[in-house]
Amino acid sequence: MTTTASPASLSPAGTLDATALLAMSPADLDALFRASPAGAIPTGRGRGSVLFFPGTEIARPFDRVAGKVVWQGKDFTPATQDLKNLVTPLGVRAIRAEVYAEDSWVDRKPCTVLDYSRSSRLFGWIRDEIREVAPGVYLGVVWGVGRAFGGRRRILRFALTFPAGG
């Protein structure tokens, strides 16, 4: 069962959060990403939400399991222009990505790129793009890059939530 909601109806006065993103349809998430500014490159730890089958009944349970077992978010360090993912139930800092501003592959408008191609042997085939959809809330698109993906293909979406004032 898919829940369809308008991005505008879910984000009055910046009230959009990861729970709302999980409830949105893929088409609404795409429209929200396209309509959002790049925002500032984040600083510090952002709590991650995996947007797998968004807008369906399995989206929230999948995110809960993934967040406890596999991926908890990302820790950005502006001084080194990089981040490390927070993985495992212990939130271990691992899997480095370079962070920089560039145009998105979605619509050729500015975004923040999280590039694993030169920093991770295991995940060098990944490129993430994020945009700030509400204060402290970023919507991300994960691209698979290379021959296995026919060049490049969008393979997943995620959200990052940063503490207020952080």
**Range(s) of the domain holding residue 46:** 38-161
E-only strand ranges, the chain:
44-51, 71-77, 82-87, 92-103, 110-115, 126-134, 137-146, 151-161
In a domain, 76, yes or no: yes
Establish if 121 belongs to a structural domain. Answer: yes
User: Residue range 80-88: average pLDDT?
Assistant: 97
With CA atoms as reference, report the closest residue to 21 among 7, 38, 41: 7
* Residue 97 within a domain: yes
Indicate whether 11 pLDDT > 60.
no
Q: What is the pLDDT of residues 96-116, one digit of tens each?
A: 999 999 999 999 999 999 999
- pTM of the prediction? 0.90
pLDDT for 15:
78
Contacts of 9 (CB under 8 A, 6+ apart): none
- Count of structural domains, the chain: 1
21 lies in some domain? no
Q: Is residue 9 part of a domain?
A: no
What residues contact 45, with CB distance under 8 A and at least 6 apart? 73, 74, 75, 76, 86, 162
Domain membership of residue 32 (yes or no) is no
